[in-house]
């Protein structure tokens, strides 16, 4: 314990030297600090915490904490809060952010998903089979949650496309995938949280208890507290999934069918699909890429042969979950639904796989890319919520305009129902009943392509601004106060007041670049970084 205390004292001293503050004695509160986990200054730990999946921004922390429990996080944040010289704290899950949102320059990064914590009591996932919920550590990965709940024949209802993300990380944003139209985002399926606020308070919160903190943290970008425990609703898990893809050459028909399918969210399961997504194809090479691999190599699909509108094709992805005993009737249910759609008749591609394999499909693609050294590269991703009323304008201006015929990665597009989102959360979405996610998931293999894709992202945002499309960024990245205030719109005042209540010294998640860290010489004002 003495070693851990010394390391933290050294880290804080290093902070003072780095930022040029007058050297003062380390307070006795720091010297008495003891955590059960590990506080590390090891270069490998620091380097890991300095980077993320995006590889677009690097920020080196002073120290990395591998907590054994929520109490360790409480001690770290209390120390930073009482110290008052700008020591910041960021929680890092799987490090899958794009623009350094989980980094902490001259601060402490808490590794929530650390393998070193796996044997601690906090790592235990608890399934309540009777009440149908699971309680998990905030740093647990969704793939681990799935494995634990399937032992009881249960599973969460709402997912992300990629399961190697932390529970706390996705709940700090929203957590969306093809089930969102029906069950809402992951934040709409949370029953209770344990949160360590920016004042070092460990609080349990829910709709009924500490509700203001509960709704602030959900989609709150890590600004109000670190999620240490989440209670997530479950449902009976299906055994298998019938996964179908069909193609469209007309955007209006494509969106009409997508919007029809999500309008069935209130229907019995037999009268709707369980998953609705889609993607845009502007590059023939992408139609059989890692995300589209179930198209038969012996029967390749050519954009030119399908008379694509403006050289662009649109692929609708739909899936039907079923249990082993229902295999005989699933074909009838699917046929009934497909008969109501207007896709290209010759373009139906179907595969059948286990529920786990379907949910974990992107990880299998990851392994292929890693084998080719194509995974650990810069990812200048851009995720936008586009209002339904302007999605056709977006198609003309971006898919058929700005993109050209080289995309460097998948472009997802699918609609969601706003009434499935709790407006009390911190998330902001377009003010329409239906809005689309458009996700540009591109990879840059060299500096030239990174510069090009970054410039193209700016072109897309500039087009949306000039055309007054009314988009909102998902996983937002801004650097000025004006941009953040515009992003939150009518929610900005509430967001700011919540920040002042739960993290008044602006200790948490400074990598988001929303608020300047507070120091003993700082006046609390409405400032961003």
DSSP state of 117: G
Catalytic residue among 45, 161, 309, 317: 161
H-type helices in 339-389, by residue range? 355-359, 361-371
Q: Which residue has the tokens 């996932």?
A: 125
Catalytic residue among 45, 140, 274, 277: 277
Task: Point out which residues pair with 385 in neighbouring strands.
Answer: 437, 472
Choose among 57, 142, 198, 178: nearest CA to 436: 178
Choose among 1, 233, 228: nearest CA to 122: 228
Cα-based angle 418, 432, 512 (whole degrees, multiple of 5): 70
Cα-based angle 126, 127, 131 (whole degrees, multiple of 5): 130
Backbone angles phi, psi at 276, to 5 degrees: -135, 115
Between strands 382-387 and 472-473, the pairing is antiparallel
CA 76 to CA 37: how far, in whole Å? Answer: 11
Let me know: does 112 contact 165? Beta carbons within 8 Å. Answer: no
Choose among 76, 97, 105, 100: nearest CA to 168: 97
Let me know: does 62 contact 11? Beta carbons within 8 Å. Answer: yes
- In the residue annotation, 201 being an active-site residue is answered as no
- Which tokens hold the place of 255? 């969106």
Catalytic residue among 96, 183, 215, 477: 96
Cα-based angle 158, 163, 166 (whole degrees, multiple of 5): 90
Choose among 361, 360, 363: nearest CA to 147: 360
Cα distances (angstroms) measured from residue 339 to each of 37, 100, 270, 336: 57, 46, 14, 5
Between strands 154-156 and 89-92, the pairing is unpaired
Cα distances (angstroms) measured from residue 335 to each of 244, 412, 499: 11, 25, 51
CA 110 to CA 87: how far, in whole Å? Answer: 13
Task: Point out which residues pair with 155 in neighbouring strands.
Answer: 235
Between strands 434-440 and 411-417, the pairing is antiparallel
- In the residue annotation, 277 being an active-site residue is answered as yes
Residues tagged active-site: 96, 161, 277
């Amino acid at each position: 314990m003495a070693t851990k205390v010394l390391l933290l004292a050294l880290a804080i001293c290093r902070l003072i030297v780095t930022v040029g503050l007058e050297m003062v004695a380390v307070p006795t509160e720091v010297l008495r600090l003891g955590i059960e986990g590990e506080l590390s200054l090891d270069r490998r730990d620091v380097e890991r915490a300095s980077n993320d999946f995006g590889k677009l921004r690097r920020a080196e922390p002073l120290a990395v904490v591998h907590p054994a429990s929520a109490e360790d996080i409480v001690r770290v944040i209390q120390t930073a809060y009482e110290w008052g010289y700008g020591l910041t704290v960021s929680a890092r899950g799987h490090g899958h952010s794009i623009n350094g949102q989980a980094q902490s320059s001259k601060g402490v990064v808490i590794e929530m998903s650390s393998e070193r914590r796996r044997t601690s009591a906090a790592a235990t996932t608890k399934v309540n089979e009777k009440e149908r919920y699971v309680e998990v550590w905030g740093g647990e990965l969704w793939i681990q949650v799935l494995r634990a709940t399937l032992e009881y024949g249960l599973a969460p209802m709402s997912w992300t496309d990629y399961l190697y993300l932390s529970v706390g990380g996705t709940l700090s944003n929203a957590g969306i995938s093809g089930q969102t139209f029906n069950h809402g985002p992951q934040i709409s399926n949370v029953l209770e949280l344990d949160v360590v606020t920016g004042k070092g308070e460990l609080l349990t919160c829910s709709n009924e208890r500490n509700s203001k903190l509960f709704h602030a943290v959900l989609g709150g970008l890590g600004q109000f507290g670190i999620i240490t425990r989440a209670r997530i609703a479950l449902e009976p898990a299906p055994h298998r999934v019938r996964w179908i893809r069909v193609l469209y050459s007309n955007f209006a028909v494509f969106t009409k069918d997508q919007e029809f399918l999500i309008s069935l969210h209130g229907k019995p399961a037999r009268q709707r699909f369980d998953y609705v997504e889609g993607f845009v194809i502007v590059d023939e090479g992408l139609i059989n890429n890692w995300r589209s691999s179930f198209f038969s190599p012996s029967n390749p699909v050519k954009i030119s042969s399908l008379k694509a509108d403006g050289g662009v094709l649109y692929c609708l992805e739909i899936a039907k979950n079923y249990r082993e005993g229902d295999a005989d009737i699933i074909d009838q249910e699917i046929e009934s639904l497909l008969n109501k759609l207007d896709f290209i008749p010759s373009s139906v591609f179907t595969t059948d796989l286990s529920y786990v394999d379907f949910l974990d499909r992107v990880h299998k693609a990851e392994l292929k890319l890693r084998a080719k050294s194509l995974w650990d590269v810069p990812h200048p991703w851009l995720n936008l919520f586009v209002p339904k009323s302007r999605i056709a304008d977006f198609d003309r201006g971006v898919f058929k305009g700005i993109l050209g015929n080289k995309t460097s990665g998948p472009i997802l597009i699918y609609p969601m129902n706003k009434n499935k989102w709790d407006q009390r959360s911190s998330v902001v979405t377009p003010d329409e009943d239906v809005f689309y996610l458009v996700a540009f998931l591109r990879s840059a293999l060299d500096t030239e392509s990174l510069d090009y894709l970054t410039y193209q992202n700016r072109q897309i945002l500039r087009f949306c601004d000039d055309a007054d499309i009314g988009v909102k960024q998902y996983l937002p990245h801004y650097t000025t106060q004006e941009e953040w205030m515009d992003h939150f719109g009518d929610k900005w005042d509430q967001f700011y007041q919540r920040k002042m209540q739960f993290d008044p010294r602006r200790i948490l998640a400074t990598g988001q670049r929303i608020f300047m860290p507070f120091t003993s010489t700082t006046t609390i004002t409405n400032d961003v970084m």
